[in-house]
Amino acid sequence: MKQKVGVLGCGLMGAGIVEVCIKSGHPTVVREVNQQFLDRGLKRIDDSMDRAMQKGKLTQAERDAARGRLSATTDFEPLAECDIIVEAITEDRVAKADLWKQVAKVARPGSLRATNTSSIPLSSLAPHSGDPTRFIGLHFMNPVPVMKLVEIVRGIESTDAAIAEGQAFVEGLGKTTILAKDTPGFVINVLLVPYLCEAVRLLEHGVATKEDIDKGMKLGCGMPMGPIELLDFVGVDTTLAIADVLFDEFGDAKYAAPPLLRRMVESGFMGKKCGRGFYDYGGGK
Ligand code: CAA
C-alpha cells in the first residue's frame, strides 16, 4: 500500500510534485488557499499529463488512474490522513512558518513532514511543524516530472529514520537524491543562483544581449538552457527570494541580487509562469 501524500500548494512546483506522486500510485490530496488557485493548479497537472499522453509516455488508462488518486481541498483537515506532507508554497519564510503552524494542528503523529524550500533554513520552519524530528527538506527541481534530482536536506533535529523515509519516498517517484546539511541554498542554489545573478549583471552592464548570454552558455558550455532563459523558467521572483536569503545569511556581496533583478520583480515580470520575464512569452503579468 502506497503512502498517502498531502501537498501544500499547487503552483509550479506543487503541481509537479502532485503529478509525480499520483503517477507513482500515491493517493494524494493537494491543498490551496482558495478555489481559484486550486483550479489553476489542477489545470496545470491535467495539461502536463495530456502532453505526456500525446507523446506516448502515458496511456489514457494510466492518466485516468493517476487522476483518480487525486483529491483537492482548501481545508487543512484532509491532511490528517496523510503519511507524508510536502509543503511547496511560495518562497517566503513567514508564510511557510504560518502554514506549518496550521498543519501541525492536524498532522497525524509520526507523519513525515517535508518542505520543498529552495533556500530557507529548515531550522526556521521545523519548530512550527509539530515534530522537528520528522521534518526534512525535499527540494524538487523544475520541471518536476522531468528533472531526476531531489535534494534531501537534514535539519538539526531530523532523525536518520526520517531521512531514510524521505529518500525511499522520492526514489519511489523515480528520482535520484543528494543529501545536504541545513545551510542556506543547500547545494544546488548556492551554486545556481550566483550564476543566474551574474548573468543579469552582464545584461545590466551591457556586456552582451540576453540572447547572446544564453547562446553562449548553451553552445559554449552545453547547458540545456541559457541563464536568462532559466531564470525566467525558475521564476524571477523565486530567484530574487533565494538571492536575498543567501545574502542575508552569508552577508557576502557575491550573493547580492543585481538591481535589475529586483526592478523586474517590482514591475511584475516574474518569468514564464506569468507570460513575461526577461523574455516575452506573449502574456500579461
Ligand atoms: N512537464 C513535463 N514534461 C516536460 C516539461 C514539463 N513542464 N517540460 C519539458 N518536458 C519534457 C518533454 O515532454 C520532453 O520529453 P521527451 O524527451 O520524453 O519527449 C523533455 O522534457 C524535453 O522537453 P522539450 O523537448 O520540450 O524541450 P527541451 O529539450 O528544451 O527540454 C527542459 C526542456 C527539460 C526543461 C530542458 O530545457 C532543461 O533541462 N532545462 C534546464 C532545467 C533546469 O535546470 N531545471 C532546474 C532548475 S533549478 C531548480 O528547479 C531549483 C530551484 O530551487 C531554483
Q: What is the pLDDT of residues 176-211, one digit of tens each?
A: 999 999 999 999 999 999 999 999 999 999 999 999
Sign of the dihedral through C-alpha 147, 148, 154, 160: positive
Q: In this structure, are 59 and 16 located in the same domain?
A: yes
Report the pLDDT value the prediction gives residue 198, as an integer from 0 to 100: 98
Which numbered atom of ligand 1 lies nearest the CA of 192? 48
The CATH number of the domain holding residue 25 is 3.40.50.720
With contact defined as beta carbons under 8 Å apart, do 128 and 105 qualify?
no
Q: Which residues are catalytic?
A: 118, 139, 151, 189
Q: In this structure, are 88 and 149 located in the same domain?
A: yes
Q: In this structure, are 164 and 237 located in the same domain?
A: no
Residue in this structure with the C-alpha cell 481545508, named with its chain if needed:
75
Report the pLDDT value the prediction gives residue 69, as an integer from 0 to 100: 98
Report the pLDDT value the prediction gives residue 196, as an integer from 0 to 100: 98
Residue in this structure with the C-alpha cell 531530523, named with its chain if needed:
158
Phi and psi at residue 145, in whole multiples of 5°? -65, -20
Report the pLDDT value the prediction gives residue 47, as an integer from 0 to 100: 97
Report the pLDDT value the prediction gives residue 1, as an integer from 0 to 100: 86
Q: Which residue has its alpha carbon closest to ligand 1 atom 34?
A: 146
Number of structural domains (the chain) is 2
Q: Which residue has its alpha carbon closest to ligand 1 atom 21?
A: 146
Q: Is the C-beta atom of 146 inside 6 A of ligand 1?
A: yes
pLDDT exceeds 80 at position 146: yes
Q: In this structure, are 153 and 38 located in the same domain?
A: yes
With contact defined as beta carbons under 8 Å apart, do 235 and 271 qualify?
yes
For residue 1, report the distance from its CA to the centre of ligand 1, in Å. Answer: 30
Domain boundary among the residues 160, 181, 202 is at: 181
Report the pLDDT value the prediction gives residue 138, as an integer from 0 to 100: 98
Q: Which residue has its alpha carbon closest to ligand 1 atom 10?
A: 146
For residue 75, report the distance from its CA to the centre of ligand 1, in Å. Answer: 32
Q: In this structure, are 172 and 249 located in the same domain?
A: no
Is residue 283 situated within a structural domain? no
Q: Is the C-beta atom of 117 inside 6 A of ligand 1?
A: no
Mean pLDDT of 115-141: 97
For residue range 211-224, what is the model confidence (pLDDT) as tens digits?
999 999 999 999 99
Domain boundary among the residues 118, 148, 181 is at: 181
Domain boundary among the residues 157, 181, 205 is at: 181
Pocket probe for ligand 1: among 146, 151, 239, the residue whose CB has the most ligand atoms within 8 Å is 146
Is residue 89 situated within a structural domain? yes
Q: In this structure, are 211 and 162 located in the same domain?
A: no
pLDDT exceeds 80 at position 90: yes
Share of the chain above pLDDT 70, in %: 99
**pLDDT tier at 284, thresholds 50, 70, 90:** low
pTM (two decimals): 0.94
Sign of the dihedral through C-alpha 137, 143, 144, 146: negative
Q: Where are the beta strands (DSSP E) in the chain?
A: 5-8, 28-31, 70-73, 84-87, 112-115, 135-140, 149-154, 176-181
**pLDDT tier at 238, thresholds 50, 70, 90:** very high
Is residue 42 situated within a structural domain? yes
Q: In this structure, are 198 and 222 located in the same domain?
A: yes
Q: In this structure, are 256 and 138 located in the same domain?
A: no
C-alpha cell at 144: 518536476
Q: Is the C-beta atom of 148 inside 6 A of ligand 1?
A: no
Range of the structural domain that residue 225 is part of: 189-274
Is residue 281 situated within a structural domain? no
The CATH number of the domain holding residue 200 is 1.10.1040.10
For residue 138, report the distance from its CA to the centre of ligand 1, in Å. Answer: 19
Question: Please, what is the average pLDDT of the chain?
Answer: 96
Residue in this structure with the C-alpha cell 553562449, named with its chain if needed:
216
C-alpha cell at 12: 509550479
Q: Strands across the sheet with 70-73, in order?
A: 70-73, 28-31, 5-8, 84-87, 112-115, 135-140, 149-154, 176-181
Q: In this structure, are 164 and 39 located in the same domain?
A: yes
Mean pLDDT of 240-247: 95
Which numbered atom of ligand 1 lies nearest the CA of 235? 54
Mean pLDDT of 249-257: 95
Phi and psi at residue 77, in whole multiples of 5°? -55, -40
Q: In this structure, are 40 and 88 located in the same domain?
A: yes
Is residue 285 situated within a structural domain? no
Is residue 282 situated within a structural domain? no
Is residue 128 situated within a structural domain? yes
Report the pLDDT value the prediction gives residue 126, as an integer from 0 to 100: 98
Q: In this structure, are 164 and 199 located in the same domain?
A: no
3-state secondary structure of 150: strand
Q: In this structure, are 166 and 223 located in the same domain?
A: no
With contact defined as beta carbons under 8 Å apart, do 45 and 68 qualify?
no
